[in-house]
Amino acid sequence: MATEGKSAQVKLVELALVFLIVLGGVLLVTREFVPSRRGEIVDRHGRTLARDRLSYHVNVHYSLISGRWAYRQAERHAMREHRRRWPELSRRERDRLAERYRPQYERVVRQFWEDLAMATGTPLAEIESHKNDVLLRVAQIRGSVIARRMQREREQYEMPVSSANVAQPIGEEVMGHPVVFDIDRDVRRSIEALIARAEGGEADLAAWQHVEVEPDARREYPNTSVTVAIDTSTFPTPLRQSEPVEVTVEGVDTHLLGRMRSIWREDRERRPFSRRGQDGEREVDLGGYLPGDMIGLSGIEEALEDQLRGLRGERIIHLDTLEQEPLDPVPGRDVQLTVDVMLQARIQALMDPELGLLTSQPWHGQRDESDERYGVDPDPRWVQVGDALNGAAVVLDVSTSEVLAAVSQPGYSRDQLENDASSIWDDRLNRPDRYRVTHSVYPPGSTVKPLVLAAAATEGAYDLDRTLECEGMLDPDNPNIMRCWIYRQAGGTHGPLLGDEAVARSCNIFFYKLGRTLGGPDLVRWYGRFGLGRNAAVGLSDEPGSLPRWHPDVSSRDPGFSRSEAIFMGIGQGRVAWTPLQAAASYAAMAKGMYHQPTFIRNGDELGLDRHQWPLDLDPQAVDMALRGLDMGANRRGVGTAVGITMLQGERIFNVPGVTVMAKSGTAQAPPTRYDSTGDGRPDAIGRLGSHAWCIALVKPEGADEPRYVVAVVLEHAGSGGSVAGPVVNQIVHALKEEGYL
């Protein structure tokens, strides 16, 4: 369980902020503000992911904190003992008499603080620290209030005014302040028992009459750590174990939910607690921010801050009559996610490098030396056998575009954030803080080929009955560029291909030609219709990916999108890139013929969140051909590139009984990963070389008419899409079945 609480300064400001109404120099009214409850976050099945845990804090009247209470009690004692001549005594004589009785009341105060520490289990030194915070804060407020009073008096009477003339008590000096935090119900009851005894007349407990117990809330994340049993019997053969493996995953929700922080100045400026209205009167926003408030820093907590944040309550106290006007706080809105936290935890467990799927293996086909782009000498910046792999996985419901799971590897836990934060922020190469699902952008490689086929056929740039010839290279005069992978590996060709065969075999030449025929403007437009180049996630901030703008006339002053780039974009290379979430959403859009913006929020309509959607108007026969290509690619031996693991004697990648998987692998050439090795904010070092491994699959139970889920996996600089990312997708399909989705 992880919690994020508010500091002493937060409570001090939030519970003790007082607005004063002064008429004729007499304090009439104070207003105390009570915190609200932040909305809960639950998963799609109602499991609590984030909530404010109810606790309590102890308010002690300022007179006890400042020491003034002992003097006042001593003065009253002296007045009782000398009541007959008291009116005749001077101020100095009264003080001299009061000093006789002061030590006994100071002993009561010292005992009070010791008893408070004992009753709450709080070190006395910690309480003293909170007391000092209160004294400093009140002194600052008092100085500011007195300065404003003096200014007002000078302006009104046009004569010098001393501070003694306007030194009436301020609200913070006549109220309680929190000095002990986060106590439970049992401690609260023991404190209230002491208060009751004091009110019953026990002299030694008199100070307890000036104590209150107030409700408090701390943010906790009860499902951040989950233990999952993983059956490895369907893993690639070298990774199988005889018994299920228990994996405890930490930080299941950390990337997704985000975390809290104290507010910054810009937060207060965006939504101030009070401001002057057009009529010049001071207006209060009970949802506005005060110094020390907490606010969402990342993830859902940040993206839905306005919905999750509630409104403070307030209590107006009339000091002349002691009457109170209470206004209850309004809790924040609850948020239900589309994500299934148990499916999320299971996938995160599968992606633990200890199980081997996200560890570079000898059979992955990753080379351990640089290619022609970087030289021919072995280079340790290539992923080596035994290295942990970084990447992301997304599961999307095809019919609703709801995100069922979205895992980023590596991640970090809330305990790590609290106790070893430097291990997160200092790892600039692996970036465990980055939510790769929505914030990392990758070239898609061959995974775009089904989309390009459907778009080209819909536009009339390809006749579904026509074959295109794979000659191994697009330009015979330049045989070392724009080649097919089969020519590059073995000098072969695919020969004449229909569209579904081209998807299954992942023929580069076929799609070079489609890109060239479709043309730059239409290709960019269709990528945009599939969701690229725009923010996709509802409920989270995300990166829009990248698409070039079309410029018919390219010049040196306008380095726009040249027509020749369409050829490379036809195979998912060049200036086209997407996030894993966009990849999953584009496949869902193709399968159902409608782009529906993916969402993490199940009750988005209630929260006022808009989702964009539009029909793609794809040729149904073109979509059928693309889906056949995906089916052949995952299931037809000798044809599909996502059928088997070559270096394991063609062992099948997908092995979930009763389920049809239609998949496209991709090995996307990627620029080297550059990172900031010195911490100066400038990428100055190359961290990784090699191609990204992709696999995207549409999944349906056997006999179903339409795909039900899409699974997208990318592993950075990991090599072969089929051999590396394919087994991860396969295990995610097993996880869907294990959790009851198939």
Instruction: Answer yes or no: are the C-beta atoms of 478 and 420 closer than 8 Å.
Output: no
In a domain, 489, yes or no: yes
Least confident of 9-23, 92-106, 184-198: 9-23
Residue 235 located in a structural domain = no
132 in any annotated domain:
yes
Question: Are residue 323 and residue 384 in the same domain, yes or no?
Answer: no
- CB burial of 365-385 (b: ≥16 within 10 Å; e: otherwise) equals bbeeebeeeeeeeebebbbee
113-171 tens-digit pLDDT: 999 999 999 999 999 999 999 999 888 888 887 777 777 777 777 667 665 666 678 77
pLDDT at 336 over 70: yes
Give this prediction's pTM.
0.80
Amino acid at 708: R
Helix ranges (DSSP H) in 82-170: 91-120, 124-157
Number of H helices, E strands in the chain: 23, 29
- Say if residue 313 is in the same domain as residue 186: yes
CATH of the domain at 306: 3.90.1310.10
How far, in Å, CA of 399 to CA of 480, rounded?
A: 43
| Average pLDDT of the segment spanning 356-372 | 73
Query: Cα–Cα distances in Å, from 332 out to 182, 271, 288, 312?
Result: 21, 16, 13, 10
Answer with the residue of higher pLDDT: 559 or 252. 252
User: Is it the case that residue 109 has pLDDT exceeding 90?
Assistant: yes
Q: Is the pLDDT of residue 591 over 80?
A: yes
Report the C-alpha gap between 428 and 448 in whole angstroms. Answer: 30
Helix 520-529 to helix 508-518 angle (10° resolution) is: 100
Distance CA 514, CA 570 (A): 7
Half-sphere exposure of 132 (CA within 13 A, CB side): 6
C-alpha to C-alpha distance for 7 and 680, rounded to whole angstroms: 31
Distance CA 726, CA 694 (A): 8
Please state the domain count of the chain: 2
**CA-to-CA distance for 316 and 323, rounded, in angstroms?**
8
Residue 212 pLDDT > 50: yes
Examine the pLDDT at 367 and tell me if it is beyond 60: no
Q: What is the CATH number of the domain that holds 357?
A: 3.40.710.10
What does the pLDDT read at residue 586?
Answer: 98
Q: Is 622 contained in some domain?
A: yes
- Are 725 and 715 within 8 A, CB to CB? yes
Give the pLDDT of residue 370. Answer: 37
For residue 270, being part of any structural domain is answered with yes
Q: Give whole-number Cα distances, 388 to 136, 226, 357, 711, 714, in Å.
A: 51, 21, 9, 21, 14
Q: Are residues 373 and 284 in the same domain?
A: no
- Residue pair 53/220 in contact by the 8 Å Cβ criterion: yes
Last residue of a domain, one of 333, 355, 383: 333
Q: Are residues 514 and 593 in the same domain?
A: yes
Quick one: pLDDT at residue 159?
Answer: 67
Evaluate whether residue 655 is within a structural domain.
yes
Shared-domain flag, residues 615 and 551: yes
Residues 211 and 92 reside in one and the same domain: yes
Task: Find how far residue 225's CA is from the centre of its chain.
Answer: 16
Burial class (CB in 10 A: 0-12, 13-18, 19+), 182: middle
The answer to whether 520 touches 566, Cβ cutoff 8 Å, is yes
pLDDT, residue 162, reads 66
Q: Are 256 and 339 in contact (CB under 8 A)?
A: yes
Please check whether residues 656 and 562 belong to one and the same domain.
yes
**Count of CB atoms situated within 10 Å of the CB of 492:** 13
For the chain, give the number of residues.
742
Q: Looking at the structure, do residues 576 and 713 belong to the same domain, yes or no?
A: yes
Burial class (CB in 10 A: 0-12, 13-18, 19+), 354: exposed
Whether 285 and 406 map to the same domain: the answer is no
Range of the domain at 363: 341-738
- Angle at the Cα of 675 (from 672 to 678), degrees rounded to 5? 145
Do 578 and 443 reside in the same domain of the chain?
yes
Alpha carbon distance 33, 313 (integer Å): 6
Residues 416 and 282 in one domain: no
Look at residues 333, 357, 388 and tell me which one is the last residue of a structural domain. 333
From 303, 333, 363, give the residue that closes a domain: 333
**Percent of the chain residues past pLDDT 90, beyond the cut:** 62
Please report the DSSP string for 378-442 in residue order: B-TTBPPTTPBPPEEEEEEETTT-BEEEEEEES---HHHHHH-THHHHT-TTT-TTS-HHHH--B
Tokens read off for 554: 């390219």
| CA–CA distance, 573 with 738 (Å, rounded to integer) | 36
Question: Does the residue 550 lie in any domain?
Answer: yes
Q: Is residue 244 part of a domain?
A: no
Among 312, 295, 291, which Cα is nearest to 303's? 295
pLDDT digits (tens, 9 = 90+) for 33-62: 777 889 999 999 999 999 998 788 899 999
Residues 359 and 451 placed together within one structural domain of the fold: yes
The mean-pLDDT minimum among 60-74, 134-148, 162-176, 389-403 falls in 162-176
